[in-house]
Amino acid sequence: NSAAKAPPTPSPLRFSKFFQSNMRILITGGAGFIGSHLVDRLMENEKNEVIVADNYFTGSKDNLKKWIGHPRFELIRHDVTEPLLVEVDQIYHLACPASPIFYKYNPVKTIKTNVIGTLNMLGLAKRVGARILLTSTSEVYGDPLIHPQNESYWGNVNPIGVRSCYDEGKRVAETLMFDYHRQHGIEIRIARIFNTYGPRMNIDDGRVVSNFIAQAIRNEPLTVQAPGTQTRSFCYVSDMVDGLIRLMEGENTGPINIGNPGEFTMIELAETVKELINPEVKIISVENTPDDPRQRKPDITKAKELLGWEPKIKLRDGLPLMEEDFRQRLGVPRKN
Ligand code: NAD
Ligand code: UDP
Ligand code: UDP
């Protein structure tokens, strides 16, 4: 019969299956810290074509310079709050400033990026049948009342505070992801990322690890924000990228915590940086910012069980790798 002979209509699912053999991957925010490391890892696979869309608010072309001009790589200056038309199989949606000083700089823009930006990427995923991964954050747990935080905890977030543009923005982004999944059958993945550090972090972005390392190298006092007993858990960027790729390739929607469960107070972190990088440096106490979460540590049982993932790099091993990169960028070689 004629129906049996008709050529197959290209399904919107899996664009490259019909038109080419490579996997086309869009990374929004790919010029940033985590995004550019993700690009490096994905570009190692010759079957991947990578498209980065970034507005360079906190990222830079420098982070991607080794790929510019590569035939499997494309860089687009684009703001995700505007619609984007590209044909891809997977979307890693990272675009959003991550550091408090940058996301508080223009809070209305931050919430637009989280809400309209995620809506646009979901609309794109729907049109082309792509799988989409959102980099959400441990900030969705706010100032958590349970410790460590697992994915079923709903969080303790101030809806009207100075951090809300970021944490409530990410919470709405997660809601949008699940509504597109339930309403339109979009394949989604949600990673709840805990504090991540490593080479290429913005030197002046005000985050604690980048601050302490830059201060230690410049021989300026390490500024511990009071009380200094607040905790964070720091994941090295290569472990993070590994977790994100496993989540994308796996079968579970998440949300899944990706982070390193090693927990440190800010005083302990300052002492470790001092010991490893500059034993002469002073540690001082300075005023804190509002709504600073008092403790944060991921429960990574789900990541272990569902993704076979756990971080490999301990803080003591990761800090020197970051020091190396910061010394090069600051032009301050090690003394001995
Ligand atoms: P980053 O600031 O280095 O990277 C974010 C990138 O997004 C930058 O290149 C920036 O220019 C781009 N961007 C921002 N707004 C945009 C917009 N409207 N349109 C297009 N591009 C835009 O931050 P990062 O540390 O690499 O974080 C990446 C993602 O991971 C973010 O979604 C962040 O919320 C999430 N995350 C990071 C951490 C962390 O510790 N670094 C923790 C939790 C979650
Ligand atoms: N969108 C986009 N790229 C696409 C398809 C959609 O940026 O390839 C945007 C579109 O502009 C819209 C959003 O994604 O603002 C949501 O799209 P959807 O089709 O889900 O909703 P609608 O357009 O019906 O509001
Ligand atoms: N912090 C600090 N000194 C600094 C910068 C930050 O003690 O120079 C503290 C801050 O008060 C917070 C923790 O370090 O308790 C982590 O802050 P960061 O901005 O790096 O990340 P986030 O608050 O988003 O986890």
State pLDDT tens for residues 234-261.
999 999 999 999 999 999 999 999 999 9
Ligand located closest to 142 CA: 3
Could you tell which of 91, 96, 204 is best to mutate to test the pocket of ligand 1, judged by most ligand atoms within 8 Å of the CB?
A: 96
CB 27 within 8 A of CB 133: no
Query: Beta partners for 316?
Result: none
Q: Which of 92, 141, 166, 236 is catalytic?
A: 166
Ligand located closest to 127 CA: 2
Distance from the Cα of residue 284 to its chain's centroid: 29
Q: Kindly provide the ipTM of the predicted complex, given to two decimals.
A: 0.97
Determine which residue's CA is closest to atom 19 belonging to ligand 3: 207
CB 320 within 8 A of CB 281: no
pLDDT for the residue numbered 1: 43
Could you tell which of 58, 76, 189, 247 is best to mutate to test the pocket of ligand 1, judged by most ligand atoms within 8 Å of the CB?
A: 58
The verdict on the CB of residue 84 being under 6 Å from ligand 2 is: yes
Given a cut of 70, the residues of the chain with pLDDT beneath it are: 1-21, 336
Phi first, then psi: give them for residue 64, nearest 5 degrees.
-115, 10
The verdict on the CB of residue 85 being under 6 Å from ligand 2 is: yes
Label residue 107 left, alpha or beta by phi (over 0 means left) and psi (-120 to 50 means alpha).
alpha
pLDDT for the residue numbered 258: 98
Q: Read off the pLDDT of residues 157-216 as tens digits, 9 standing for 90 and up.
A: 999 999 999 999 999 999 999 999 999 999 999 999 999 999 999 998 899 999 999 999
Q: Closest ligand 1 atom, CA of 193? A: 43
CA of 31 to the centre of ligand 1 (A): 9
pLDDT for the residue numbered 3: 44
Annotation marks residue 166 as catalytic: yes
pLDDT for the residue numbered 22: 85
Q: Closest ligand 3 atom, CA of 222? A: 8
Could you tell which of 34, 58, 266 is best to mutate to test the pocket of ligand 3, judged by most ligand atoms within 8 Å of the CB?
A: 266
> pTM to 2 decimals?
0.94
Determine which residue's CA is closest to atom 5 belonging to ligand 2: 124
Ligand located closest to 121 CA: 2
CB 207 within 8 A of CB 273: no
Write out residues with Cβ below 6 Å of ligand 1.
Answer: 28-29, 31-35, 54-59, 79-81, 94-98, 113, 117, 135, 137, 193, 195-196
CB 300 within 8 A of CB 233: no
pLDDT for the residue numbered 17: 53
pLDDT for the residue numbered 10: 44
**What beta strand segments (E) does 154-262 contain?**
188-193, 196-197, 222-225, 231-233, 235-236, 256-258
CA of 19 to the centre of ligand 1 (A): 31
Convert 38-56 to b/e letters by CB count within 10 Å (16 or more is b). Answer: bbbebbeeeebbbbbbbbe
